Amino acid sequence: MTDVVPYRDAYTRSVEARVVAVDVSGTPLVVLDRTAFYPGGGGQPSDRGLLLRSADGRSWVVRAARRSGGDVVHELDPEVEPPSVGDVVVADLDWARRYSLMRTHTALHALCGVVWRDYGAQVTGGNMEPGSGRMDFEFERMGGELVGEIEAKVNAELAMARDVRVAVLPREEAFAIPDLIRTKVNLLPPGIEEVRTIEIVGLDLQADGGTHVANTREVGGIRVTGYESKGRINKRIRIELVEPGA
């Protein structure tokens, strides 16, 4: 089992780790005993970065990471010879990219929070890249005239400098929180005993596995860059980040 540090500390940029498995049957894959890499999920792409071997300073580019059972697999460039089992390496993130994803992810939760609180619309999906993202809602009366209003409300919430808190709750306790039901927590597989939650204090609470900033002031602001109807009820809202102070 890989110890996945970003689940409990999103601000860790690098960790020292030991190589516990290597697979060279295709693209080289490396499993570490712990990692700073977020393995992707919940609409947030996995991290990229480097593995640096302490003994000789050699480095490898990590193109992507993903979960495989209880492990996190780090995918290297094709055709390179990976480090060996037992090697000590530093798993070092592309921090600028990850921090942008953290700001983007928190911005999308703020959007969900406003749309739920003020319009009663449930989120049905979403996706992001560094600096921009989209959310899909069951939001029949969404239209172009609401875009500016939603953007202003989200920016007002971000400017309130709300703390963002991570918790891990026993399944039963999580199921007892009415707000979590809208993020389809009831679709979680029966085997999952704990539910990780992200709370933008005073605005939004969701079951979520991603990495977030600690306070909404780190997000800066958002701009709504588009909306689309995906049918009578399903609507998609696209946003991009606006730098703090811009």
Q: Rank residues 15 and 185 by Cβ distance to Zn ion and give the closer one.
A: 185
Report the nearest approach of Zn ion to the CB of residue 112 (Å). 8
Residues forming the site for Zn ion (CB under 5 A) = 42, 208, 210
Q: Rank residues 63 and 184 by Cβ distance to Zn ion and give the closer one.
A: 184
Report the nearest approach of Zn ion to the CB of residue 126 (Å). 7
Q: Rank residues 1 and 167 by Cβ distance to Zn ion and give the closer one.
A: 167
Report the nearest approach of Zn ion to the CB of residue 40 (Å). 12
Q: Rank residues 91 and 110 by Cβ distance to Zn ion and give the closer one.
A: 110
Q: Rank residues 71 and 208 by Cβ distance to Zn ion and give the closer one.
A: 208
Return all residues near 69 (Cβ < 8 A) that are at least 6 apart.
none
d(CA 125, CA 105): 13
Residue nearest Zn ion (C-beta atom):
208
Report the nearest approach of Zn ion to the CB of residue 30 (Å). 27
Report the nearest approach of Zn ion to the CB of residue 118 (Å). 19
Instruction: Sort 59 into a burial class: Cβ within 10 Å, 0-12 / 13-18 / 19+.
Output: middle
Report the nearest approach of Zn ion to the CB of residue 94 (Å). 20
Q: Rank residues 45 and 53 by Cβ distance to Zn ion and give the closer one.
A: 45
